[in-house]
Structures are given as C-alpha cells and as structure tokens.
A and B are shown apart, each in its own frame.
Chain A
Amino acid sequence: MSTRKYLTAAVVIAVLGVAHVFAWETTEVSPGALVDGWRGMARFLAEALPPDLDWDAVVRPGLEACLTTLAIGLLGTTLSVPAALLFAVLGTRGRHQVVYQVSRSVMSFLRAVPDVVFALIFVTAVGLGPFAGVLALICHNVGVLGKLWSEAMDEVDPGPTDALRVSGAREPQVIANAVLPAVVPALIGLLLYRFDVNVRSSLVLGLVGAGGVGFLINQSIQLFEFDQMATYILMVLVLVVAVDLLSAGIRRRLT
C-alpha cells in the first residue's frame, strides 16, 4: 500500500519535472536575455518618468477614455444578464437531460473563447471602437456568468422550498418566497464580481482596438510616448482599484 503511494508520488513528480523542462524549452525562457535587456528597461523607465500631465493633450482624453472603458465594462455586464439568466436556469441540475446538456455546452463554448478573440471578430464586423468591445464582453460574459449563476442555483437548499410546498403555496409563491431570497444575494454578488472583471477585460480589449483607455495605452506605446503611457497606466490603476473597492464593498453588505 505505502510502496504504491511512493511509486505514485515518484511518477507524478517525474511527469511534472518533464513538463516543466518541456515548457522551459518551448517558451524560450532565457534569464540572460532579461539581464542583457536591463539597459532597455532602464531607458524605458527613464522616459516614462515623470508622467506627462498635460491636461488637454493627455489627462482629459485619458479621463474620457477611462469613462469609455467603464462604460464598456458596464454594458458588457448588464446586457449579458438576460441570456446569462436563461442559460443558467436551463443549465441547473434536474432539467431535462437534453436541455441541460445543450445549455451547458453553449456556456462552455462562450467561456472557452477568450473575450479578446471575440473582440477581434467584432472589430472586423462593426469596426474599431467601443461597440466591438461591448459585444465581445457580452458573448464571453454570458458563458462565465451563466455558469457561475447556474452553480449558485444548484446550491440552493431545497428545504425552505419543501416547507412552503407543504403549506400549499403555488409555484410562483414558492419561488418568490423561498428560492429567490436564498439565491438573489449570491447572484448579485457574482454579477458585481463579473463587473469588476469586465472593466479590467475592457482595458485589454482596448489594446486590440475596442476603444477606451486601453486603446490610448496601445497608441502611446506605438508612438514611443512612454510618459503619456505612464499617465494612462496610473489612471487605470486608480480605476481598477476604485471598481474593486466598490464591488467588494457592496458584496460585503449583501452577506
């Protein structure tokens, strides 16, 4: 018994070791290149500091772009709610097997395709700009939020539901007075969490042309305006921290 355990452990360690060697080779990890490159990094930093705080050329457009980023994240989250809810409900355990499998598969597919890929697709469809970002977030978020909601619904304790059924309450009454009170706080918490993630995703989407402050960062790098980039990154930092604090604060009050 214990020899077999050791044998298993040895095999696992060996496999992990081989995997890491292989990964090291494939990703061309080269500490030497990093060391050699320090000069470039230093120059980059020197140019980035101090950040360019010119109001008309940098700060105001930056703030406007931050608002766009926030707006992309907001709409990408809100507009995905109806479809996410539908797939979540259809994907809870106890549904008809076919319905369950189909909705789980749709959600898995939407989750598996990264939002950046959706963004690239929509940029070719509707052109560069925030709208492509919104569409991309909706697609990916339906998959993720649907799955999270589905699991939250599966976890609802059926006890209070039973208690109300026994009292003769009709189905809508049972849902309104036993299921929803148990599940809504969890659903809202997950929604806020996704809003938080989506605002951060919308930054990345900006890098591939979907507008917002990510787009400005990309532009400033391509123009070698590293001090402008530094300003934008500071703004992003503030934005991300603010959204995170907001959503965490609300979630805390929900429980």
Chain B
Amino acid sequence: MENGLSVKGLRKSFGDRAVLNGVDFSVGAGELVVLLGANGSGKSTALRCVVGLAEADEGVVSVAGRELRGLTGAELARARRAAAMVFQQIHLVRRRNVIDNVCAGGLAGLPLSRSLTPALFPKDLRERAMACLDRVGLADRAKDRAGSLSGGQQQRVAIARALCQGAKVLLADEPVSALDPAAATQVMELLRELARNDGLAVAAVLHQPDLARRHADRVLGLLHGEIRFSTRGSDLSDVDIDALYAPDRAVAV
C-alpha cells in the first residue's frame, strides 16, 4: 500500500457497545472502493477513526505508506494530513465564498499570521486552491457564496477542499446521499476520475448498490462491525446485498 490506505484489526467501542470488531481493509492508490452496510454497522465510525475524529481502541492504520501507530504530536498530524474526508452534510462555511472554503483545506502548513482570516491567505495557497477548484469543474464559481451553490456543486467544492489539503487518500462518508441522481452520478464520476487519473486512494460509503456496481473497483460489505465480503464492483450480487441488509430484518421480526 505504497500510497494508499491500509486498516488492520480496527476495534472501537462506545461504552460497552462494540461498534467495530476488527475491521481489515485496504484501498490502493488509483482505486475506488465502496463501503456498503446497514445503518449502524459502523461505516462512519471506521472512517472517523482513520482521520482521527474518533479514537480507535485497537488497530493499525497506514496512510500513504506511513503507519500512524507510534506517531505523536506534529508528526502524527502531518501523517494524517495525507487523508482527507468529505461528508454527507458537506460542511462548508456557507457564508464564505467558494475559493476561501477551498483554501481552508490548506491551512495546516501556514503560520497563524497568514491564516486567521481569508484576507491573509498567501497567494500560492490561493493559486493552489484555484487549481483544485478547476479540477472539480467549478473555477467559474470561485467568488460565489458557498451556500448559494446547489448540493452537488457544494459537494464538489468540499472535494476541492480535500484536494487542497494535498490528500493522497480520500474518504467520503455518504457523499451523495443528499443529492439528486444526476448530481450523485456527477460526484461519483469525479471520485472515480480522481482515483484513475490522479492516483488517489478513494473510499466512499454509499447506500445505493447500483452506484456501487457502476463506479466501484471494489465493494466491501460491512456487517456488525466486520467486513463481510469484498468483491469486484461489477460482480456485486443481490445475494451480497441481502446478506448486509437482511439480518436487520430478521432481528426486527
């Protein structure tokens, strides 16, 4: 996993509720992997543990070839920076314009004196942000207020912000769940291009098996905090899908 993501034996409990029971998976550079799983199966928790929004109880995570275990402080932060995340709720600062939002992805390297308000952002950061915005096809909207864009456009801005971070690994937690089908397809195509052409390792949580079949190189099924299956996107069968969502029905009865 020279430039990708590798996760081994990831465990996480909230109180006495075990959410992740030893999750193993990897995403190679240039690969788009889709995670499927019922609500509550631990998809978000797994991604949040990778980027440090949640702390795993156990497990080994490597991002872009660097094992995070054993790293601390600034070094851990630098290694983690190679992984970016986009969210279903997009999480842009809606009042700020698009380019300032994209710039915000690249703050980590800056001194405070250049980063406390957009007027201070240095020129090279702005240029880099503009290139990222161009990459997602929204360079012409740079000066618009983020909140005035459509949902699909906002999600692409969030992806541009992740690119501006300089990420090698891109995690997407239900990036298209709030989007209409056309916008969803556009975002998925962008994610796949970023994998194919730009060599990113992309992992996306989805709820639509069809999108997974169409766009994923590989599909992972998560059930009760464990990886239940791993298959090529085009090979994803209805039996696989039922295995993920049916147990809930059985329990519910």
Chain B residue nearest to A181 (CB atoms) is: B93
Which residue, of A163, A172, A177, has the highest number of chain B Cβ atoms within 10 A?
A163
Give complex CA distance A162, B77 in Å.
14
Q: Which of B85, B90, B115 touches A166 (beta carbons < 8 Å)?
A: B85
Q: Quick check: is B197 within 8 A (CB to CB) of the other chain?
A: no
Give complex CA distance A166, B85 in Å.
7
Chain B residue nearest to A179 (CB atoms) is: B93
Q: Quick check: is A178 within 8 A (CB to CB) of the other chain?
A: yes
Q: CB-CB < 8 A to B233: which residues of A? A: none
Q: CB-CB < 8 A to B116: which residues of A? A: 172-173, 176-177
Interface pair A167/B53, CB less than 8 Å apart: no
Interface pair A176/B117, CB less than 8 Å apart: yes
Secondary structure dominating the interface of A: helix
Q: Separation in Å of the A8 CB from the closest CB of chain B?
A: 33
Interface pair A166/B107, CB less than 8 Å apart: no
Chain B residue nearest to A177 (CB atoms) is: B104
Give complex CA distance A162, B91 in Å.
8
Q: Which of A157, A176, A182, A185 touches B115 (beta carbons < 8 Å)?
A: A176
Give complex CA distance A166, B106 in Å.
11
Q: Separation in Å of the A196 CB from the closest CB of chain B?
A: 24
Q: A160-B92, A173-B115, A181-B95 are in contact. Are A166 and B104 (CB under 8 A)?
A: no
Residues of A within 8 A of B (CB): 157, 159-160, 162-170, 172-173, 176-178, 181-182, 185
Instruction: List 20 A-B pairs, Cβ < 8 Å.
Output: A159-B89, A160-B92, A162-B87, A163-B85, A166-B52, A166-B80, A166-B85, A167-B84, A167-B106, A167-B108, A167-B165, A168-B80, A169-B107, A170-B112, A172-B112, A177-B104, A177-B117, A181-B93, A181-B95, A182-B95
Other than the given A167-B107, A177-B104, 14 more pairs (CB < 8 A) read: A159-B90, A160-B93, A162-B53, A164-B107, A166-B83, A166-B165, A167-B84, A167-B104, A168-B107, A169-B107, A170-B107, A172-B116, A173-B107, A181-B93
